[in-house]
């Protein structure tokens, strides 16, 4: 049985992270208004360092769940903790291998929640990865199956993250872009490249 995110634990960790990260970094956030007040959606940030994960949580005013590589969920205890914080183990190269996790992701979207996907799949400091389209293709297939069109089409929201090193505190600039939309799974590869291009622009890498 898949563990659902604990909103209490999520809020507690977020409350602890807020003063800690703001004491180490100067965080500037733009575009929060581009995250819809309700309904499901996909948040797609730039991925450079492990710190991107808590930064995304601080930037998104709504609770989010994270798609993460399944290797992080190998150890008992760690697996339960990450899952309780909203982690979803998934093989992004071949999502069919983690079908239960993808069904869990579908339920989260069905419940009107937001999911975070790092489309590059791994760290690319100071550069932009090509982007992996298979998971986005699966989500578009799910959208098509549910008949979510028009006002119900899933918003895919690109997020740029830029680290500007300074002598005292590194500045982190987060820019949340306007939602992007696609109608069907046949657009997945081209759509992923459009997303990656927008993330690069928001991150100052284009």
Domain boundaries, the chain: 7-202
Is residue 50 within a helix (H) or strand (E), and if so which, with residue range?
none
Predicted TM-score (pTM) of the model is 0.87
Q: At what angle do helices 134-146 and 99-110 cross, to 10 degrees?
A: 50
- Between CA 149 and CA 79 the distance in angstroms is 35
> For position 95, what pLDDT does the model report?
59
> What is the residue-level pLDDT of the chain in tens, covering all 206 positions?
455 677 777 788 888 888 888 888 999 999 999 999 889 999 999 999 989 988 998 999 888 988 887 776 666 766 777 777 777 877 656 656 667 778 888 889 999 999 999 999 889 998 999 898 988 998 998 898 888 877 778 999 999 999 998 778 899 999 999 999 997 767 889 999 999 999 999 999 97
- What are the phi and psi torsion angles at 120 (to 5°)? -75, -25
> For position 172, what pLDDT does the model report?
94
Report CA Rg, the chain: 16
Is beta strand 170-176 parallel, antiparallel or unpaired with respect to 156-164?
Answer: antiparallel
Is the distance from CB of 116 to CB of 94 less than 8 angstroms?
Answer: no
- What are the phi and psi torsion angles at 122 (to 5°)? -160, 180
Locate 72 and state its tokens: 């992080």
Residue with the two structure tokens 């590059």: 120
- Residue 3 is classified by DSSP as P
> For position 3, what pLDDT does the model report?
59
> For position 73, what pLDDT does the model report?
67
Is the distance from CB of 119 to CB of 202 less than 8 angstroms?
Answer: no
Nearest to 138 by CA among 179, 104, 176, 177: 104
Is the distance from CB of 186 to CB of 145 less than 8 angstroms?
Answer: no
């Amino acid at each position: 049985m898949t563990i659902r995110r604990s909103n209490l634990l999520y809020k507690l960790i977020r409350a602890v992270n807020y003063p800690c990260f703001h004491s180490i970094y100067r965080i500037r956030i733009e575009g929060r208004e581009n995250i819809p007040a309700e309904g499901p959606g996909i948040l797609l940030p730039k991925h450079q360092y492990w710190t991107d994960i808590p930064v995304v949580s601080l930037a998104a005013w709504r609770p989010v769940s994270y798609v993460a590589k399944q290797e992080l969920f190998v150890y008992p205890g760690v697996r339960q903790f990450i899952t309780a914080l909203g982690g979803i183990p998934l093989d992004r190269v071949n999502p069919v291998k983690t079908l239960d996790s993808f069904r869990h992701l579908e339920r989260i979207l069905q419940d009107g929640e937001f999911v975070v996907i790092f489309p590059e799949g791994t760290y690319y400091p100071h550069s932009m990865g090509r982007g992996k389209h298979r998971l986005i293709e699966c989500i578009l297939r799910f959208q098509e199956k549910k008949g979510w069109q028009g006002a119900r089409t899933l918003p895919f929201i690109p997020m740029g993250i830029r680290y500007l090193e300074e002598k005292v505190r590194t500045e982190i600039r987060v820019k949340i872009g306007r939602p992007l939309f696609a109608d069907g799974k046949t657009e997945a590869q081209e759509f992923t490249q459009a997303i990656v291009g927008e993330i690069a622009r928001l991150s100052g890498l284009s």
